[in-house]
Amino acid sequence: MRYKFLTIAGLAALGFASCKKDFLVQSNPNSVTIPQYYSTESDILLAVNGIYTSLRSSNNIGEESDLFTDQRSDDTGTNDNQSSSGEPFQFNNYSLLPTNSNLKSHWTSLFNTITRCNAVLTYIDQVPFANASNKTIYSAEAKFVRAVMYFHLVRKWGDVPLVTRFLKADELTANTFRVKRPQVYKQIVADLRDAAGSNLPATQTDASRGRATIAAADAILGQVYLTMSTIFDSAKNNSLDSAKYYLEACYKLRTFGKLSEIPYADVFDVTKKNSCPELIWQIVNIQGDLNYHSNVAADNQAKGEFINSLKKAGGAGNNVTHDLVNEFESNDLRKTFSMKFANDPNIQDWFVTKYRDSSSGATDKGYGGNNWPLIRYADVILMLAEVNMYQGNNDAAIQYLNLVRERAKLPSYEVSLNDPFYASVCPTLKKAILHERRVELAFEHHRLFDLLRFFTIDELVDYMHAKKQSDFGLANLSNFTRKDEYFPIPLIEYNLDPVKMYQNPGY
């Protein structure tokens, strides 16, 4: 019982720091229970703020979740700075074990955020609101984030426990079991449709920076439907129609004309993070702040370099696979902006430079001010290209694809096909869209999900095995097998009930 609460319930006690430490001890008359905690509109707002704060955890979905995404793909992790037997290397080496503590921490963090969302949604009706519109906004925000968490869980683990209300300790055992993917996706869609149809702000403003908006709900709902279209054959056509509907709805909400109006570097410019109209949803950081700064600029930087941060680096930073380096077209400005070859004699490798804050405000401690982009319009545009391609609307798909290439100052898709290099990387329109997503969205933690969406698991195994081992450093490509469609269920969860918490194949 104790372990079920700490893991599946997502460390709920940590989600409400303003409560007494023993608020869950029901026999203690001095404790503060969850129902008692929510008594005013302000309490709900603080709790919703806490939901967003939980996304900042290094084990959640923000800037430090590279371990669970890009290093699990073919983009980062050329070298292992600790040792080839260390737990982080298991992700990049496709040798994950159910005992991996990083894996368990990621699972726990995602469920912790869900617990916060469920607490708000369970008890919001008992609180009087002077402004009724605030109640619907807070509810929509909680549903939005809960959907995002479950979208990460279902793509990484497949069947997962599905909990939509705050559980008391004596309810955990009965509610701890894996639920099949279609049911999880049904809940994700329901939550996002509620958010998309709510009175949330249409787009981010100074007051709503980093919070849920209609545009964000539309974008993620479109992505969810697009993902469903590739894994549930019986609902493929309906899912594609829905994906197009919501992605187009998001695109219509943009506050700019063509993507080419926004320089690529502006998207990642720390001085323009609150004004760049391409950003749909982001995790907000505060430059120079001890607790709420960004680490990504300093963490990515290689020894001997100061392009990212004034903080002196001692390691290799965030390595880039040579497989990704070699996929960029030679004149692609995104390559020059996103990565650099470190010339330190002990490094001699590529590292990520996409997120930079070498200004004095970040200090030599590396307290950067970069916001972490979770959704931006180039992503939406390329998903629209993908949807149209699946529907056989190739002309429309190419038009969307070219919007992104135009901003990168590259020739159109039609012209580029005459380039032998481009034609070899992009022999089909589908591969061209996948290529564009890879180079446009590199290091933004989309690549793993793109690979799983574009290929069946058998196709993906063949795709990975066809790559050059020499482009992946210590990571062994032959380790990638059908098991890598999903992460293993953390052993502590499996051991609670091997029947209800059955392990994924291959582990």
In the structure encoding, which two tokens stand for residue 504, read together?
Answer: 């994924």
Q: Domain check: are 104 and 116 in the same one? A: yes
Cβ contacts of 410 within 8 Å, gap of 6 or more: 329, 331, 332, 416
pTM: 0.93
**Final residue before a domain boundary, out of 370, 394, 414:** 370
The answer as to whether 455 is a domain residue is: no
Where would I find the beta strands (DSSP E) of 20-121?
A: none
The 3-state secondary structure of 244-306 reads HHHHHHHHHCCCCCCHHHCCHHHHHCCCCCCCCCCEEEEECCCCCCCCCCECHHHHHCCCCCC
pLDDT at position 161 is: 97
**Final residue before a domain boundary, out of 370, 390, 424:** 370
What's the distance, CA 150 to chain centroid? 11
Give 173's pLDDT tier (boundaries 50, 70, 90).
confident
Cα–Cα distance measured from residue 454 to residue 457, given in angstroms and rounded to the nearest whole number: 10
- Assess whether pLDDT exceeds 90 at residue 18: no
Residue 127 burial (10 A CB sphere; 0-12, 13-18, 19+)? middle
Q: Domain check: are 296 and 414 in the same one? A: no
- Assess whether pLDDT exceeds 70 at residue 5: no
Q: Domain check: are 439 and 354 in the same one? A: no
Q: Domain check: are 120 and 184 in the same one? A: yes
Cβ contacts of 72 within 8 Å, gap of 6 or more: 91, 92, 94, 448, 484
Cα–Cα distance measured from residue 482 to residue 78, given in angstroms and rounded to the nearest whole number: 22
Q: Over pLDDT 70: what percentage of the chain? A: 92
pLDDT at position 79 is: 58
Q: Domain check: are 403 and 271 in the same one? A: yes
The answer as to whether 427 is a domain residue is: yes
Cβ contacts of 82 within 8 Å, gap of 6 or more: 88, 89
pLDDT at position 84 is: 54
**Final residue before a domain boundary, out of 389, 418, 444:** 444
Residue 21 burial (10 A CB sphere; 0-12, 13-18, 19+)? exposed
CB 463 within 8 A of CB 72: no
The answer as to whether 451 is a domain residue is: no
Q: How far is CA 46 from CA 17, 52, 207, 479, in A?
A: 11, 10, 15, 45
Q: Domain check: are 70 and 185 in the same one? A: yes
Which of 217, 47, 246 lies closest to 134, judged by CA?
47
CB 116 within 8 A of CB 50: yes
Q: How many domains does the chain have?
A: 3
Helix, coil or strand: residue 438 = helix
pLDDT tens for residues 265-324?
999 999 999 999 999 999 999 999 999 999 999 999 999 999 999 999 999 999 999 999
Q: How far is CA 300 from CA 113, 346, 355, in A?
A: 26, 16, 8
Q: Domain check: are 389 and 505 in the same one? A: no
pLDDT tens for residues 83-99?
555 899 999 999 999 99
- Assess whether pLDDT exceeds 50 at residue 28: no
Which of 63, 201, 31, 54 lies closest to 118, judged by CA?
54
pLDDT at position 15 is: 37
Residue 294, strand partner residues: 368
Q: Domain check: are 366 and 379 in the same one? A: no
Q: Mean pLDDT, to the nearest integer, of 378-391?
A: 98
pLDDT tens for residues 274-284?
999 999 999 99
CATH code where residue 277 lies:
1.25.40.390
Give 20's pLDDT tier (boundaries 50, 70, 90).
very low
Helix, coil or strand: residue 352 = strand
- Assess whether pLDDT exceeds 60 at residue 23: no
Give 343's pLDDT tier (boundaries 50, 70, 90).
confident
Q: Domain check: are 428 and 391 in the same one? A: yes
Q: Mean pLDDT, to the nearest integer, of 175-202?
A: 97
Q: Domain check: are 378 and 466 in the same one? A: no
Which of 64, 61, 380, 70 lies closest to 220, judged by CA?
380
Q: Domain check: are 243 and 329 in the same one? A: no
Q: Domain check: are 167 and 58 in the same one? A: yes
Domain boundaries, position 154: 1-193+461-507
